[in-house]
């Protein structure tokens, strides 16, 4: 018996389940950080979490608001400089999973966090790339978690900040020393994976109570569904309790400062 849960909770729990104890995960701020710490506090207590601020093997008690909160440093095995983080630990090949969020994603899992519109005359200026462009190519594989909507899931993004599989699905072909790229996208509606052949994102699992129509309606291209479409297991009582405690602790901590 599972209690009521929100679609956001469903997304975080599903994203957390994608991680396991053996992974070394380079964690983006926001949704990925929530999911990664939920994994660490439930089924993957020994997962290695790395944040781009230089904190190696960190175990924060509350979710950081920024990528460099003191909590990340105090609870880390060690903290290295930012050049060392990107050069030795990421580019050097020690990261198994890069876990990213995004503002927009297209059908080949390319990510846009730079701007909407024209670069020299943007409609909306977004923060930019940060660590993502190199996390996406130097990590062995990439997980993405983002809320599903037509504004977010667009057929072609205006700007590729961070490559998935390029505008033709072939950007990684014959490139030496590059990771496999995005292997899973987790949203509040479903799980998507790139088609093994053409790399277009395909829905492989629907979350409980979600219909195909809802996913079609929230996606800016003609979304494909896997032949053997699965149903995502709902969150367990334990997953929900740990997630809610973590979020309550975090809210209290940030409000109290």
Partner 1 sequence: MAEFLSLQDAVKKHIHDGDTVAMEGFTHLIPFAAGHEIIRQQRRELTLIRMTPDLVYDQMIGAGCASKLIFSWGGNPGVGSLHRLRDAVQQSWPCALELVEHSHAAMANAYEAGAAGLPLAVLRGYIGSDLPKVNDQIKFIECPFTGERLAAIPSIRPDVTVIHAQRADRKGNVLVEGIVGVQKEAVLAAKRSIVTVEEVVDDLGASVNACVIPSWAISAIAVAEKGAAPSYALGYYDRDNAFYKDWDAIGRDRELFQAWLKDNVFENGAA
Binding site residues, partner 1, CB under 8 A: 29-30, 52-55, 64-70, 72-74, 79-83, 85-87, 90-91, 110, 114, 119, 122, 125-134, 137-138, 159-163, 166, 171-172, 175-178, 254-255, 257
The CB-of-117 to partner 1 minimum distance in angstroms stands at: 10
Tell me, yes or no, if 200 is annotated catalytic. no
Q: Which is nearer to partner 1, 197 or 257 (CB)?
A: 257
> Taking a C-beta distance cutoff of 8 angstroms, is the pair 79, 73 a contact?
yes
Q: Which is nearer to partner 1, 44 or 135 (CB)?
A: 135
Q: Which is nearer to partner 1, 43 or 253 (CB)?
A: 253
The sheet with strand 201-206 has its strands ordered as 76-79, 55-58, 48-51, 24-27, 97-100, 141-145, 182-186, 190-194, 201-206, 224-231
Residue of 252, 256, 250, 257 lying closest to 61 (CA atoms): 250
Beta bridge partners of 203: 192, 225
Q: Find the catalytic residue in 4, 9, 34, 52.
A: 52
The CB-of-237 to partner 1 minimum distance in angstroms stands at: 29
> Taking a C-beta distance cutoff of 8 angstroms, is the pair 167, 156 a contact?
yes
The CB-of-1 to partner 1 minimum distance in angstroms stands at: 35
The CB-of-81 to partner 1 minimum distance in angstroms stands at: 5
> Taking a C-beta distance cutoff of 8 angstroms, is the pair 240, 13 a contact?
yes
Cα 198 to the chain's mean position, in Å? 22
Q: How far is 63 from 171, CA to CA, in rounded Å?
A: 34
Q: Which is nearer to partner 1, 21 or 78 (CB)?
A: 78
Cα 26 to the chain's mean position, in Å? 10
Q: How far is 102 from 92, CA to CA, in rounded Å?
A: 24
Burial of 198 (0-12, 13-18, 19+ CB in 10 A): middle
The CB-of-26 to partner 1 minimum distance in angstroms stands at: 11
Q: Which is nearer to partner 1, 126 or 226 (CB)?
A: 126
- Write out the catalytic residue numbers: 52
């Amino acid at each position: 018996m599972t209690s009521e849960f929100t679609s956001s909770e469903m997304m975080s729990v599903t994203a957390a389940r994608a991680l396991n104890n053996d992974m070394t995960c380079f964690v983006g701020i926001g949704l990925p950080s929530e999911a990664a710490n939920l994994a660490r506090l439930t089924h993957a207590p020994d997962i290695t979490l790395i944040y781009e601020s230089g904190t190696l093997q960190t175990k924060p008690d509350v979710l950081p608001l920024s990528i460099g909160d003191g909590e990340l440093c105090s609870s880390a095995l060690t903290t290295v400089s930012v050049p060392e983080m990107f050069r030795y630990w990421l580019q050097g090949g020690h990261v198994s999973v890069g876990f990213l969020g995004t503002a927009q994603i297209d059908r080949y899992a390319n990510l846009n966090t730079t701007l909407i519109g024209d670069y020299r005359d943007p409609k909306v200026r977004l923060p930019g790339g940060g660590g993502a462009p190199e996390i996406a190519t130097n990590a062995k594989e990439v997980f993405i978690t983002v809320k599903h909507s037509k504004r977010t899931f667009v057929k072609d993004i205006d700007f590729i900040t961070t490559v998935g599989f390029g505008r033709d699905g072939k950007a990684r072909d014959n490139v030496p020393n590059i990771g496999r790229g995005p292997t899973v996208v987790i949203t509040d509606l479903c799980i998507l994976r790139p088609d093994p052949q053409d790399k277009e994102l395909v829905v492989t699992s629907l979350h409980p109570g979600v219909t195909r129509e809802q996913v079609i309606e929230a996606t800016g291209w003609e979304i494909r569904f896997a032949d053997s479409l699965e149903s995502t297991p709902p969150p367990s009582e334990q997953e929900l309790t740990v997630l809610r405690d973590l979020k309550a602790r975090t809210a209290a901590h940030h409000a109290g400062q």
